Amino acid sequence: MSDLPYRPCVGVALFNGRGEVFVGRRIDTDIEAWQMPQGGIDAGEDPQTALFRELEEEIGTAKAEIIDEIRDWLTYDLPPELMGKVWGGRYRGQIQKWFALRFLGSDDDINLQTAHPEFSTWRWMTLERLPQVIVPFKREIYAEVARRFAPIAEAIARGLR
């Protein structure tokens, strides 16, 4: 299956005023799997447009502003048991463009009861904790995102950004 392409995707580290990020508990799994908002980039769509669309679709609000991005694209492969089952079997994994955003709304603006809910519940979490709560096959990419955005989280927490 290594001849399959990667699915183009965006990922969003949505920071609150304490330097914590939004995470949602996946609705489609029995294991405790949390993740940040992320999703596919539609044909003809640029990553910035995709990330705001994904926020609306997944958490019911796009009250946020981009404050940084990881310049390169990060990839992960699906585990063998999911290969050929998700995304119609068309992709081997995802190639992701990650962005850091400042949340401009209030917790009351977040509404998981969207047209196609993806999360059953949500909370704010520290970046350091992220790799411990994500599904194993995404752990490495989340560790890298946490490492790269750590200075932003610290600056926000200290009121410097």
pTM exceeds cut of 0.75: yes
User: Given this model, what pLDDT does residue 82 score?
Assistant: 85
Q: Residue 49 is inside which H or E element, if any?
A: helix 47-59
User: Given this model, what pLDDT does residue 86 score?
Assistant: 83
**CA neighbours closer than 13 Å in the CB half-sphere of residue 6:** 14
User: Given this model, what pLDDT does residue 140 score?
Assistant: 95
- CATH for the 6-157 domain, from 3.40.50.300, 3.40.50.2300, 3.40.640.10, 3.90.79.10: 3.90.79.10
Break the chain into its structural domains and give their ranges. 6-157
Task: Give whole-number Cα distances, 44 to 50, 73, 95, 154, in Å.
Answer: 10, 18, 16, 35
Q: Torsion over CA of 63, 48, 132 and 106, rounded to 10 degrees?
A: 0
Please give the average pLDDT of every successive group of 10 residues along the chain, which has 161 residues: 88 98 90 91 97 97 98 94 85 96 98 94 95 91 97 94 80
User: Given this model, what pLDDT does residue 32 score?
Assistant: 82
User: Given this model, what pLDDT does residue 1 score?
Assistant: 55
CB atoms within 10 A of CB 6: 16
